[in-house]
Amino acid sequence: MRTTSPPFRAALAGCLLAMAALVSSGCSTEEDRTLVVLGPWTDGEEQPFVDTLKKISERTGDTYVYEGTRSLRETLVAQLRTDTSPDVAILNGQGELAEYARDGDARPLPEGVAGAAIGPWSPRITLKDKDGEQRQHSYWVPVRVDLKSIVWSRPDDRDAAGDPTWCLGMASGATSGWPGTDWIEDLLLQRYGPSVYERWATGDLEWDDGPVREAWRSWRTLLTAGGGNAGKEALATSFQGRHGLLNSGDCTLEHQGSFIRRHYGNDVLPAPTSDIVPGLPAPQKAFEVSGDMAAVFTPSDAAWKLMGQLTSRETRDDWAAAAKPAERPIFPDRTAGPGALTAGTAKVLELFREADELCFDASDAMPSTLRGAFQRAVLEFLQNPRDDKLLDGLLRQLEAERRLQREAGAFAIDHLCGGLPDG
């Protein structure tokens, strides 16, 4: 009988043990492993995206699993700490993404993908490489976007009504207060223009300076015009209500991004903030925008292939077809896929295309600690918006945080506004 030598038996045993470990862990080679995509959509909103991933899988042969959470930052930070980061994460904060890029967690886009990093949603940022040299790279691409600087209403009700009543909802889990930061940002943009807005959002303008203070005071005027405790009531009200704040019957105007159209029919339409809010200068056709941006955290050929797919025309058409009419995503090229559109979506696209300048959401571009302080300040302000001393104290606190983050070099985004190329 033929026998094997001890060294060969040891090597063979090692190979068998390694194979057993691979089988028991459910892993094999990179080519056939499942890619994890972390994103912000839950509670039914995720299904069109999940369906779209299945379509992508049919084209690429790769397998994807989607993990949705409303606590994106907390979830991703926990995963990074335990070395279980997703392959791709879809986030809405440029400031947050810049932090991940600085720490080496988000990876720079290769040349074949970087072309999809367009508009105010994906600025190139300058960071030091491993040799200490300053390098510019793009680190994320927008996969869907939203238009802000708009007010929703039923035009017939608005024309027939007397004094308008603003819908206000500030509750949003760990990020409560962001609808209020949107108000401050938009009022500053509409009153002082993109240049001042950009200086403030990128850390060059003091919080207790005139333009920023005036934006808060302008919001106070709207909040207190009808008397009552609208601010306090908003603290316990969800930003989207149960089925849309305008459907409550308690208000006639809602300042909210284009995603809110999912709650409304064709009788509810958006208009520019500057057309609705009294006392603002002539319309500038400058709009605030936000977006959901994808970045690679676990690089592989399959992950980069997925990034290319997420920005392709084929994927956008699949996503639009999978979504309900009022939930169809809007894409960075200012389209919403083929086919008939709801009245709200059509109007949003019209405003998008008429815009002279688009500015990315200011707080989403700030360092995360300043962003969080801004949201908390809004919640405190709403307790008593008439209190000048309260506002002074909040602005001093925010200015102190700005200085701290500026000294630490935490402002990585230096350009938030710009136009988009035609086409």
CATH node for 146-289+344-418: 3.40.190.10
pLDDT average, residue stretch 207-232: 88
The Cα–Cα gap between 233 and 104 comes to 42
Report the relative pairing of strands 357-360 and 286-296 from DSSP bridges: parallel
The Cα–Cα gap between 314 and 326 comes to 20
Judged against a pLDDT cut of 50, whether residue 208 lies above it is answered with: yes
CB-hemisphere CA count at 13 Å for 121?
A: 28
pLDDT average, residue stretch 179-208: 96
In the chain, what percentage of residues exceed pLDDT 70? 88
Judged against a pLDDT cut of 50, whether residue 259 lies above it is answered with: yes
pLDDT of residue 88: 98
CATH node for 31-145+291-338: 3.40.190.10
pLDDT average, residue stretch 383-393: 95
CB-hemisphere CA count at 13 Å for 37?
A: 27
Check residue 149 and report its DSSP letter. Answer: S
Note the Cα 377 to chain centre separation in Å: 20
The Cα–Cα gap between 258 and 153 comes to 12
Note the Cα 123 to chain centre separation in Å: 14
Ranges of each domain in the chain: 31-145+291-338, 146-289+344-418
The Cα–Cα gap between 64 and 54 comes to 8
Residue 299: how many other CB atoms lie within 10 Å: 13
The more confident residue out of 44 and 128 is 44
CB-hemisphere CA count at 13 Å for 158?
A: 18
* φ, ψ (nearest 5 deg) of residue 45: -65, -25
- What is the pTM for the complete model shown? 0.89
Judged against a pLDDT cut of 60, whether residue 94 lies above it is answered with: yes
Split at pLDDT 50, 70, 90, the class of 2 is very low
Split at pLDDT 50, 70, 90, the class of 44 is confident
Smallest CA-to-CA distance from 222 within 172, 182, 187 is with 187
Give the H or E element holding residue 395.
Answer: helix 388-407
The more confident residue out of 354 and 24 is 354
pLDDT of residue 163: 78
Q: What is the average pLDDT score of the chain?
A: 88
The Cα–Cα gap between 111 and 95 comes to 23
- Tokens 């007397």 sit at which residue? 162
Judged against a pLDDT cut of 60, whether residue 357 lies above it is answered with: yes
Judged against a pLDDT cut of 80, whether residue 144 lies above it is answered with: yes
The Cα–Cα gap between 395 and 265 comes to 39
- 397: which 2 tokens? 């606190």
Contact 289, 120 (CB under 8 A): yes
Judged against a pLDDT cut of 60, whether residue 27 lies above it is answered with: no
Encode pLDDT of 286-336 as tens digits: 999 999 999 999 999 999 999 999 999 999 999 999 999 999 999 999 999
Least confident of 29-33, 91-95, 300-304, 335-339: 29-33
pLDDT of residue 21: 38
Judged against a pLDDT cut of 90, whether residue 5 lies above it is answered with: no
In the chain, what percentage of residues exceed pLDDT 90? 74
Judged against a pLDDT cut of 60, whether residue 390 lies above it is answered with: yes
- Give residues with Cβ within 8 angstroms of 204, minimum separation 6: none
The more confident residue out of 379 and 28 is 379
Using DSSP's 3-state secondary structure scheme, residue 139 falls into coil
pLDDT of residue 309: 97
Split at pLDDT 50, 70, 90, the class of 245 is very high
pLDDT of residue 162: 65
Smallest CA-to-CA distance from 175 within 364, 393, 365, 39 is with 364
pLDDT of residue 285: 87
Angle 347-349-351 from CA coordinates, rounded to 5°: 70
Judged against a pLDDT cut of 50, whether residue 374 lies above it is answered with: yes
Split at pLDDT 50, 70, 90, the class of 164 is confident
- Give residues with Cβ within 8 angstroms of 163, minimum separation 6: 225, 226
Smallest CA-to-CA distance from 343 within 318, 355, 368, 326 is with 326
Contact 293, 140 (CB under 8 A): yes
Judged against a pLDDT cut of 60, whether residue 371 lies above it is answered with: yes
Judged against a pLDDT cut of 60, whether residue 50 lies above it is answered with: yes
Going from the C-alpha of 372 to that of each of 82, 95, 119, 149, 235, the distances in angstroms are: 24, 12, 25, 21, 16
Least confident of 140-149, 160-169, 282-291, 379-388: 160-169
